[in-house]
Amino acid sequence: MIYLLIFVFGLIMGSFYMVVGIRLPLKKSIIKPRSHCEKCNHYLKWYELIPVISFVLQKGKCNNCHQKISKFYPLCELLCGLLFLLNYIIFGFSFKFLTSILISSLMIIIFISDFKYYIILDSPILIASILYLILEFIFLDIKTTILSFCSGVTMFVIMILIMLLGNLIFKRESLGGGDIKLSFFIGMVLVPRLSLISLIFASFFALIYACIFLQIKKESEIPYGPFLMIGFYITFLLSPYLLMFLDSI
């Protein structure tokens, strides 16, 4: 029963993050106007707003204009539900579970906005950072909270140095401001050694993506934020093993 509740909660939050990720980059309010069909502006009724289920019942089409609804919506909601469930299975109800929920939520919002508009929003990073510090203060202690904040600042400075170096070598903007702000959050949650490992994971995945998609799409830039988040999330999940490995070498 609790698994189902967590999964459904994830679906609902996923649906909300979809609105945040799509509307905020366009400077639109996330409250008004109400959710509507992108093609005919038909306002959605409550039974058309149920995550995933409405999409399946309506066979992926708008009830009013019968045009196709993007599969992106239910997929994002489903991903969010599954991530929440996975976090609960791994961590149970604990500080780590709440942290992993924060990371997954930020990851989904960044997936949406960075892939869709090449934008990483400031406000979700800021909210996630503040919530994380509050969680640490409640579950751990004030000393750890301050240390995490300093660790975030260190990571932020390291990324600025990497950006300056990158700009110098490639003679163009190498990292976006959003990537650097994101690294502040990553630095806060992970210890410095693991933050650097998460950067290596991120670069590895971004490289694979670039090799495949730059060939197909012929574009010259790729969003880096989603890969930073994937590297971060994987490092967070594997952190006990990675620390053990680092200590052994």
CA–CA dist 161, 200 (Å, integer): 16
The correct pick among 5, 26, 40, 246 for binding Zn ion (CB under 5 A) is 40
Nearer to Zn ion, 65 or 126 (CB): 65
CA–CA dist 22, 28 (Å, integer): 9
Nearer to Zn ion, 58 or 64 (CB): 64
- Tokens linked to 249: 């070498």
Of 34-42, 121-129, 166-174, 213-221, the window that binds Zn ion (rule: CB under 5 A) is 34-42
Tell whether residue 37 is a contact of Zn ion (CB under 5 A). yes
CA–CA dist 105, 80 (Å, integer): 7
CA–CA dist 140, 148 (Å, integer): 11
Nearer to Zn ion, 23 or 42 (CB): 42
Return the number of other C-beta atoms located less than 10 Å from residue 19's C-beta: 17
Nearer to Zn ion, 67 or 167 (CB): 67
The answer to whether 69 and 63 are in contact (CB under 8 A) is: no
Tell whether residue 138 is a contact of Zn ion (CB under 5 A). no
The answer to whether 103 and 233 are in contact (CB under 8 A) is: yes
Query: Measured from the CB of residue 205, what is the shortest distance to Zn ion in angstroms?
Result: 36
Query: Measured from the CB of residue 189, what is the shortest distance to Zn ion in angstroms?
Result: 41
The correct pick among 5, 49, 56, 65 for binding Zn ion (CB under 5 A) is 65
Q: How many residues bind Zn ion (CB under 5 A)?
A: 7
Note the residue count of the chain.
249
The correct pick among 8, 16, 25, 42 for binding Zn ion (CB under 5 A) is 42
Of 29-37, 88-96, 214-222, 237-245, the window that binds Zn ion (rule: CB under 5 A) is 29-37
- Tokens linked to 140: 């751990």
Of 35-43, 114-122, 185-193, 219-227, the window that binds Zn ion (rule: CB under 5 A) is 35-43
Residue 151: helix, strand or coil by DSSP?
helix
> Which string of x and - marks every residue 105-124 that binds Zn ion (by CB under 5 A)?
--------------------
Tell whether residue 64 is a contact of Zn ion (CB under 5 A). yes
CA 221, 168, 155, 26 dihedral sign is negative
Tell whether residue 62 is a contact of Zn ion (CB under 5 A). yes
Query: Measured from the CB of residue 43, what is the shortest distance to Zn ion in angstroms?
Result: 10
Beta bridge partners of 36: 43
Query: Measured from the CB of residue 57, what is the shortest distance to Zn ion in angstroms?
Result: 15
CA–CA dist 10, 4 (Å, integer): 10
CA–CA dist 48, 35 (Å, integer): 10
Residue numbers of the site for Zn ion (CB under 5 A)?
37, 39-40, 42, 62, 64-65
